[in-house]
Each structure stands twice: as structure tokens, then as C-alpha cells.
Structure 1
Amino acid sequence: MSTQIVILAAGMGSRLGRTLPKPLTPLSDGRTIMQQQFDNIHHAFGNAAGVTIVVGYKLEHIIESFPEASFVYNEEYDQTNTSKSLLRALRASQSGGVLWMNGDVVYDPRVLDRAVGLIAREQSFVTVNTSKVSDEEVKYTTGAEGYIEQLSKQVRGGLGEAVGINYIAAHDKAALVRRLQQVDDQDYFERGLELAIAHDAVLVEPLDISDLYAVEIDFAEDLERANHFV
């Protein structure tokens, strides 16, 4: 089965101050954030790779820009966070694992090259950057065997930051779906992962991409930084 890929793009992205959905923000090379993601996906998985986009805010603009994609609608995009968008996508997915990413991450195409090996052996993972640990970002810790133990913005003594590109293996997906159903509407999807790790013995590997660029676009300064790379 080919890799199932999901882009979470339902949110309003109000902090960036744009009228269109944030994934349609243009970069300095002429592409949008989401087009850069599609190019990276095609680089790693081929032009026939299927992509499902979770849409909500001004969804018609994203649908018009990427008509080749499949779409899942989060009708509560203004009341829920990424946990519920991912839940909708996983429910709509076929059997097998799912690679997903936040729709506002600009990243080096080699990130997915590095992920291919873990996907091939059905290992759930979260991409991480260990070069910086900001209080405002989702952070992580690991247990004795090196798998992720804690994963949230509240983590103390974090080893690094979660980048926003992740994979749930086929044998772990049902557990993640159950936990995403349980978390609060305003929780990030990382809360569902954290619960699946704690209560369902799901093993999630940190995939270190600290030597590659990956920028989550929340503010104008993030966009400026991303434009230095593309």
C-alpha cells in the first residue's frame, strides 16, 4: 500500500494576519507554503502520492489550489484544534499507517527522505529539532529505551522541539484514534500521542532533523526566516 499522507490545514491562522488560509501564504521563491509541502511529498514518494487535506477556514481557496488532493472537512475549525482535525483524517483513512504534517511548516525536502526508512518498517515517529528548546513550542522527553515519553508545551527539561511532521504506524493507529476522541477540543494532536504512549504502550521514535531546516510559520518573523531557506 502506498503511504497515506495528511496535511492539517483547517485553522484560521490569525496570528500571521493574512486573509487567506495560512498554507496559501506565498514564499520568496513564488510557491506557497503548501505547494512547497506538495513538492517535498512528490520528491520523496513520487508524483502519484495521494494527499488528503483537512480543510475548514476558507476551504474553497485550498480546494481550488490543490484539486488533485482529497479533502476532509472539519466543520468545527473555529472551535477545535489539531487533535480533532487529525481525528477526522484518521477516521477517513484506509487501513495502514498515516504520515501527517501541519499545514504551516516549511521544511527541507530531505526531512521526508529521512522518514522513508521508518515508514517502511512501520515505526511511529515524531520529527524533532534538538538544537533549540523554546517555551512556546511542543517539547519532548524520552525514556530509557529512547522512545518519546512526554510530548507537550508543558514539558520541563525538554530534549528538543517537535517539528510538526509525524507518522503513526498501522498497528498504533487505533490507539491514537481512541485517545484523540478523548482529548479536549482545544488540545493539540500531541496530547493524543502522549496518552497513547502512556496508556497503550505505543512506541514513538524521535526522528532528529536538527541538521535540516524546518520552520513553523506563526508570525511574520517565522516567514522571513523560512524565506532564507527556500
Structure 2
Amino acid sequence: MKAVILAAGVGSRLGRPFPKSLSRLPSGECILGRQIRILREIGIREVHVVVGFKKSLLMEEFPNVCFRYNPVFYITNTSKSLLAGIEDLDDDILWANGDVVFDPEVALRLMQAGGNAVAVDRKKCGEEEVKYRTDAAGFITAISKQVENPEGEAVGLNLVSRGSLPDLVAALESCRPDDYFERALEMLVEKTPYRAVDISDYRCIEVDFKGDLDEARRLFNEGA
């Protein structure tokens, strides 16, 4: 299994002059550094980071990971960054947005799901959060920012099996430049099952705004 972390974006909503994945947590680690450490601790040795905005800062901070470049990061969204990260890989892939702070158990649950999987938090969602709905068997039937009667949030960590990887690549290729990668999943879920993996018992937060970063620092203030 390999991991891909999407860290190419400008992060304009947070309003920082550097990639938001470099934002520091109380432990002294930055968000991206914590992600890389956790992924390696749970057994994923090969980590690819998709960069764009101020890429040299990330590359200097983490010289021991693989880097992939989205050269049009300023006019594309996460669908194209994910495509840049996985298009020539041939393995099971766990991928994550580079601004998600999470407990190790979140990634472990995905790895143990036994196939394609989306980590979800069964909570009330705001307008900006990616929402989801499932069928009776627990597989995703809808995933986007606009889902009627959502069950909660898709938190930004996902897993695709090696056998389903070509379909995901093809769906990402057909996405518009400004699409989130969830648009590709939305196109696939009717024919390719993606299981919703409930991680509501664990800490996990995506940092979009300053308030999110403040909350992440409160949640993870013990340095674990």
C-alpha cells in the first residue's frame, strides 16, 4: 500500500503566506509532518506528496518523501492534484487532503476495511463540508457538498484498491479542472462500491479556516 497526500493548494481561506499543511500544532509538528509520521507508523513506507503552492518549502521540510507536482495548482482543484498523485501508481492507495489532522486509528480503519473506503464522521455538517449518504449495506450512494439529507461528513481520507485504481484515474481525468476529487467518487459509486467507514469515535478535523486551526490545536493539544 502507498499513501498520497494532497498539499498543492494555496489555502486562501486560511489566509497564510505559506502552505496550510505547514501550520504548527501544539506538539511542534506541522499538519503534514504529523500525517507522514502516522502513515509510516502504521506501516505505509512509501508516501507521495502532491505539491504546487510554494512547493520548495514543503520539499525542504520533508526531503524523505516522494513529491509530485501539479503545475496548474492555481487553477485546478483536488481532482487534478489526486490525478497527478496516482496516475502512474499500481497499488492500493490511501489518500488524504493535506489539511486534515487525525488520530492514527482513522487511517487504520480505512486500511482494515477490505476494499475501497471513505472515512466518515456521522455529525451535523455545514455548507463547506463534503457530505455523504449510504445504502442499507453501508456503501456510499452520494458524496459532495450538496447532498440531500446527509448522514455526516466525508472527512478527506479515502482508500482505493489496486483493482479499482484505473477506474478512479479515468474518472479524475473526466473531472472539470475546478472539481474536488469527490466528484470522481460521485461518478463511480453506482458501479464501484466504496464503503463508508465510521470514524466518529476518533478525532479528525479538516482545517479550512482559522477557527478550524484553533479547534485542531485544542483537540490535539497533548502532542499525540
TM range (shorter): over 0.9
Gaps of 5+ in 1: none
> What is the aligned partner in structure 1 of residue 101 from structure 2?
106
Distance in 2, matches of 1:115 and 1:228, equals 25
Deviation at 1:29, TM superposition (A): 1.6
After superposition, the CA RMSD in angstroms is 1.1
Question: Equivalent residues in 2 for 1:13-162 (5 A)?
Answer: 13-45=11-43, 49-93=45-89, 95-118=90-113, 121=114, 123-162=115-154
Q: Deviations over 1:123-144 (max 9, x none)?
A: 1001000022222211111123
Gaps of 5+ in 2: none
Aligned-partner SS, 2:173: helix
Distance in 2, matches of 1:179 and 1:124, equals 15
Range 140-149 or range 97-106, more displaced: 140-149
Q: Deviations over 1:137-176 (max 9, x none)?
A: 1111112332101100011101110000000111111111
Which structure shows the higher helix fraction?
1
Contact 2:8 2:70 in 1 (8 A): yes
Deviation at 1:183, TM superposition (A): 1.1
Aligned-partner SS, 1:92: coil
- TM-score by structure 1 length? 0.92
Distance in 2, matches of 1:152 and 1:65, equals 33
Identity score, percent: 41
Number of aligned pairs?
220
Q: Deviations over 1:58-105 (max 9, x none)?
A: 000000011101111100000000000001111132x12111000000
> What is the aligned partner in structure 2 of residue 176 from structure 1?
168
Aligned-partner SS, 1:64: helix
> What is the aligned partner in structure 2 of residue 10 from structure 1?
8
Q: Deviations over 1:13-50 (max 9, x none)?
A: 0111111111111112211011111121122116xx11
Contact 2:110 2:118 in 1 (8 A): no
Runs of 4+ in 1 over 3 A off after TM superposition: none
Distance in 2, matches of 1:194 and 1:112, equals 22
Contact 2:111 2:159 in 1 (8 A): no
Aligned-partner SS, 1:86: helix
Distance in 2, matches of 1:138 and 1:58, equals 26
Deviation at 1:208, TM superposition (A): 0.4
- TM-score by structure 2 length? 0.95
Is 1:228 the counterpart of 2:224? The answer is no
